[in-house]
Amino acid sequence: MSQISRRQFLQGGTLFAGTLALTACGGGASEDTSAQGADETVADQSATTDGAAGYTTVEAGKLTCISNLFFPPFESMNEQTGDPEGFDIDVSKSLAEHMGLEVNWLPSQDFDTLVPTIKNGGKADVAIAGMTITDKRKEEVDMSDPYVDSNQSIVIKSGTDETAETLDDAEKVIAVQSGTTGQEWAQENLPQATIKPLSTVIEAMSGVQTGLYNAVVCDLPVSKYQIKTSYTDLEVIEEIPTGEQYGIAVSKDNPGLLEAINSALAAMESDGSMAAIEAEWFGSAL
């Protein structure tokens, strides 16, 4: 079952092959908002947990968010304050603002626990986590409209001369973040190698740096950012055009919240909020 979904998902992705590593979805395109009734719906969200807003939140007046906060530049913790920061954090703030809510971030948790937490309900309203929209996840939770496009990458230590071919070997260890599309890609495309699921991409990259692992497979925008800012002795040897799109996970029991999130995302595209966040974290609108 999951193999079929994955293949369908990856095949679907080839539509996006060759596009930029990270591009905003529907940015500036007016057709995105046409079917949404965005302005009207967003204005309605000033009420919070009662029926007037059409959805409930775990804490009144707040959009409570969860993520794995070791995925820069989408989410990380400020070194001084320990507060969450990043592209997704700014998206959450803007979403909350558009919905007339305050934003509330819970402590970091493992990526592979995010979908179950949202599915179980009661703890958080949304997972905003650079999370790829997949058929498998959509069986468990609802996913919002896409807000970022992304691809996979293979990262090695510069000078080790590994290639996708040499890595597909029983002697080689490929680090991935547990429960991610990078893990799925590695398992499917490097079947001879040992795949090592870890809690964070940071742990995976550090392990490649120290020679513990031969490579990391993870989202391209993250590997590019990390190599530029911290892991300058690593390099991307292959960009894999999986054509993934990030969405926000919402409980299937809260369809009104999904609708409100989609309306707010559409409003953020049309009023320039999303472009401003892209400029802040990636230098320019994507």
Burial pattern 230-250, b for ≥16 Cβ within 10 A else e, equals: ebeebbbbbebbbbbbbbbbb
111 near ligand GLN (CB under 6 A): yes
- Could you please report the per-residue DSSP string of 213-265? SSEEEEEHHHHHHHHHHT-TTEEEEEEEEEEEEE--EE-TT-HHHHHHHHHHH
Using CB under 6 A, which of 76, 151, 177, 226 touches ligand GLN?
177
Rounded to a whole number of angstroms, the minimum distance from the CB of residue 131 to ligand GLN is 4
Scanning 80-88, 90-98, 130-138, 251-259 for contacts with ligand GLN by CB under 6 A, the matching segment is: 130-138
Taking CB under 6 A as the criterion, the residue among 36, 181, 206, 262 binding ligand GLN is: 181
Please report whether residue 105 would count as binding ligand GLN according to CB under 6 A.
no
Q: How many CB atoms lie within 10 A of CB 187?
A: 17
Q: Which of residues 8-67 bind ligand GLN (CB under 6 A)?
A: none
Over the window 137 to 176, marking each residue x when it contacts ligand GLN by CB under 6 A and - when it does not, the resulting string is: ----------------------------------------
Establish if 100 lies at the interface with ligand GLN (CB under 6 A): no
Single-letter amino acid code for the residue at 134: T
Q: Extract long-range pairs of 89-92: CB within 8 Å, 24+ residues apart.
A: 89/128, 90/277, 90/280, 90/281, 91/128, 91/147, 91/268, 91/274, 91/277, 92/63, 92/65, 92/126, 92/128
Residue 73, preceding peptide bond in cis (omega within 30° of 0) = yes
Binding segment (CB under 6 A) for ligand GLN, from list 44-52, 55-63, 126-134, 276-284: 126-134
**How far apart are CB 137 and ligand GLN at their closest, in Å?**
8
If one asks whether residue 76 binds ligand GLN (CB under 6 A), the answer comes out as no
Q: Binding residue for ligand GLN (CB under 6 A) from 72, 84, 100, 130?
A: 130
Residues that bind ligand GLN (CB under 6 A): 68, 71, 111, 129-132, 177, 180-181, 219, 244
